[in-house]
Amino acid sequence: MKIRIFFLLLAFIALSNSAFAQEKWYPIYFGIYNSGDVNFIAIGSNFEKKHFGELRLTSGNRSNFDLTAEGIFYRNLIQKENLNFHLGAMVGVSEHDNRAVAHFGLPVGLTLKPFPSDRNFTFLIEAMPNTYDYRVNFRGSLGIRYRLDFK
């Protein structure tokens, strides 16, 4: 089952890359988020653009935690020097009891840029109503991001 999720993840990356071929994806950022007992590692496109995307993978703190991959497409509604306010749409897949489970969500969040000397280091505050295994729940996330500028 993990192999199927891995190939689904590769297909998602290939499709999202071809869908945004005209737009530069650099710089990219890396993030680490905490959502209660679930931790995520993330990689995303430039969060300073009007539209950007992110791929998240779980890195749970339990040894039997199910593998989860999520793709999120965002739109910045407010962009200021020290914060961005964004909305998005999330599609994810998890392995649960040896079967793939799809889930969907609508993230709403803030990217805070508190250090004027380094706007690449940011904090994420996000809330997301989402579905998982036919249940609706609410997830809040806190995290850090760092943008790498390839100039």
Whether the pTM exceeds 0.95: the reply is no
Residue 3: predicted pLDDT: 54
Could you give all domains of the chain from N- to C-terminal order, each with its CATH number?
2-19+27-148 (2.40.160.20)
Structure confidence by residue, pLDDT tens digits, 73-120: 999 999 999 999 999 999 998 877 778 888 899 999 999 999 988 888
CA–CA separation, 142 and 103 (whole Å) = 20
* E strands present in 18-67: 28-35, 38-44, 51-58
